[in-house]
Amino acid sequence: MALLRATLYQLFLIITVIPYAIACILWAPLPLSWRYRLTIGWPRMAIWAAKVILGIRWQLKGAENLPDGPAILLSKHQSAWETMFLIAYMPRQLCFVYKRELHWVPFFGWGLALLRMIPINRSRGRDAFEQVVRVGQQRINDGRWPILFPEGTRTAPGHQGRYKLGGALLATRTNTPIIPVAHNAGECWPRKAFIKKPGLVTVSVGPLIYPDGLTADQVNEKVRTWIENEMRVLNPERYERS
């Protein structure tokens, strides 16, 4: 049964992403706000289908911490589920920081390129981060929220990756508060796993972390501390022996 559900879900994603990507190209002349609203319809469908087909439900904790103003979102990264959920359900337009080469991925990359996010040219080395700061400030000025995964890659439930400084540096350089986000999506959507598990994903939003008077290392430590402590609240059984 689990294999059948996983297969049906994968077919749903494949069948829907191609016409949706073509639609993204067709509505490219529309204003960005319209294009964004239309484009996030696909991740919303993917989250809905995960609930209906796979039995992955979700709840949002700490929604009152989401500000009505500039912010940078730094989130735990366990699966592809949260990348779809966050862009679909946050109250502001999100801007992912990603390598520019993704624009060449058929269908997905084409739609991504039209959303004016924060693509970087990694071949430029240190200059790549200056590009993130420059473009990130522009996006923040436009009322959008940059989003980064400080651990860089997906980590398994109960594990912690090294928290990189990129998001904290962006916050200190632009003087923008951080929204820390913890979640346990990996419990239902394991990393690189074809078969997903039914269950309840909790997405937990923490209080804003302000960079005023702090170094990037201090901001990064505050982010790491809140997220990792909250992970122990969401799934204490994963940390009983740590």
CATH at 174? 3.40.1130
Do residues 34 and 24 touch, judged by C-beta distance below 8 A? no
140 by DSSP, 3-state: which? helix
58 by DSSP, 3-state: which? strand
Query: How many other β-carbons are positioned within 10 Å of the β-carbon of residue 200?
Result: 12
- CA-nearest of 203, 142, 213, 149 to 177 is 213
- The total domain count for the chain is 1
Dihedrals phi, psi of 109, to nearest 5 degrees: -65, -35
Do residues 105 and 98 touch, judged by C-beta distance below 8 A? no
- What does the pLDDT look like over 140-185, one tens digit per residue? 999 999 999 999 899 999 999 999 999 999 999 999 999 999 999 9
- What does the pLDDT look like over 195-226, one tens digit per residue? 999 999 999 999 999 999 999 999 999 999 99
- What does the pLDDT look like over 45-99, one tens digit per residue? 999 999 999 999 999 999 999 999 999 999 999 999 999 999 999 999 999 988 8
pTM of the predicted model as reported, rounded to 2 decimal places = 0.92
Q: pLDDT class for 130, splitting at 50, 70, 90?
A: confident
**What's the domain range around 141?**
2-239
Nearby residues of 107 by Cβ (< 8 Å), 6 or more positions away: 17, 18, 21, 22
DSSP designation for 101: G
DSSP designation for 54: I
- CA-nearest of 166, 164, 173, 112 to 137 is 173
Q: What's the CA gap between 35 and 40, in Å, rounded? A: 9
CA 37 to chain centroid, in Å, comes to 17
